[in-house]
Structure 1
C-alpha cells in the first residue's frame, strides 16, 4: 500500500469514528416521551418527604411534579437540557397519622376522641355522650379505621410508614360501570 492510500484510509476511518462517537442531540418535547425514553424520578433527586412518605409537593389533586431525566441524546425543549418535570400520582396527606387514629379509636374511642382527631366533631360529641354508642360504635370505628374506610374529614389520606399497610379502596360512581362483554 502506498503512503497516500494509507493516509486516505486513515482519514476515512477517523471520520467514521468521529461520526459514530459524535451523536447529535435531538431537541424534543419531553412531555411526549414514551416509557424507556426517560427515568422518572431523576436518580439524583430526593423526592420523598420523610414526614409524609409521599413525593414532595403532593397536591390535593393527588399529583406531584418531580424531576425526570431524558435518555442520552435527547434535549427537552422546555428546559434546553435533558431534564424535565412530570406529574406522578401520590396520596395527599394533611398530617393525620394512621397509627395515632387507630390507637385513639382502640383506647379512647368510647369518648369519641378518634372522631374529634379525624375532624368529625358531631360524631365525636355523639360518641362522648353515649359512651361510644354503648361500645358498639367504638368497635365499629376500630374496624372502619383499621380498614381505612373512615379517613380524615378533609379528604386527605393517612400518613403511613413507608412499608405500612396502605389500602387502595376502589369506589364505584356514575363514571364507572360494567362494560358488557359480547361473545365473538
Structure 2
C-alpha cells in the first residue's frame, strides 16, 4: 500500500514541475516581448538616419512644414522594434523603421547676401529696407539720406548680425551649412546652475 500512496504525490510533483517549467518559458518569452521598444525609441547606434534632402532654392530641407522636417531612419540589421502600428518587425537594415523629426526654418525668398549688399552699397537710399518689406523706413532713409550716415551704419550692423529680418517674420535664405546665427533665450523652464559662495 505504501507505493500506491506515493504515486499521487509523484504525479503531483511532476505536474508542479511541468507547470513551473512552462511558466518560466512563458515568462521569458513575455519578458523578451516586453523589452521590444518602439522603433523611434531605439538607442544611438541601433539606427542610421539619412541626411535631409536640401532644396537648392531655399537652402532648407524639402517638405518643411510647421518648422519641422522628417528624415527616414533605418534600424540596424537584426534589430527588432515596434512600428507605429505596434507590429514587431525584424529589420535587415534596408527598411525604413521610422521618421526622425528635426527643426527647419520658414523662408519666403529673402536672401541674406542680397540684404547685406543692399545695406552696404545702397543703404543710404533705403534700398535694404524696401527689399525687406519696410517701405516706411525705406522712405525715411531715402528722404533723410540714410539718417545722415548713422542710420546706414546701424542698419548694416543690424542686418549683418541677422537681428533685422524680413517684415513677414520669415528667415533669410542662407546656405544650409552657412553662418546661421541662433538666438539663445532664457525662460522659466531654463535650468539655472546655482553659484556656490566662496
Check whether TM > 0.5.
Answer: yes
Question: Relative to structure 1, is the Cα distance of residues 70 and 166 closer, same or farther in structure 2, using a 3 angstrom cutoff?
Answer: same
Residues matched between the structures, number = 154
Structure 1 runs of 4+ aligned residues shifted over 3 Å read 79-82, 171-179
Partner of 1:58: 64
User: Residue 29 in 1 paired to residue 43 in 2?
Assistant: no
2:103 to 65, 72, 89: 89
Partner of 1:144: 158
Preserved contact between residue 127 and residue 137 of structure 1 (Cα < 8 Å): yes
In structure 1, distance between residues paired with 2:191 and 2:81 = 42
1:112 to 126, 129, 132: 126
Question: Relative to structure 1, is the Cα distance of residues 143 and 180 closer, same or farther in structure 2, using a 3 angstrom cutoff?
Answer: same
Preserved contact between residue 28 and residue 77 of structure 1 (Cα < 8 Å): no
Segments of structure 1 that go 5 or more residues without pairing to the other structure are: 1-25
Structure having the larger proportion of residues in helix: 2
Question: Relative to structure 1, is the Cα distance of residues 174 and 153 closer, same or farther in structure 2, using a 3 angstrom cutoff?
Answer: farther
Report the structure number with the largest CA radius of gyration.
2
Q: RMSD of the TM alignment (CA)?
A: 2.7
In structure 2, distance between residues paired with 1:124 and 1:173 = 34
Partner of 2:74: 69
The 5 A counterparts of 1:156-167 are 156-167=170-181
SS of the residue aligned with 1:54? coil
User: Residue 153 in 1 paired to residue 167 in 2?
Assistant: yes
SS of the residue aligned with 2:142? helix
In structure 2, distance between residues paired with 1:55 and 1:99 = 20
Query: Once the two structures are superposed, what CA deviation does each residue of 1:26-68 show, in whole Å capped at 9, x if it has no partner?
Result: 97522222222221226xxx611111222112234x3212222
In structure 1, distance between residues paired with 2:59 and 2:132 = 19
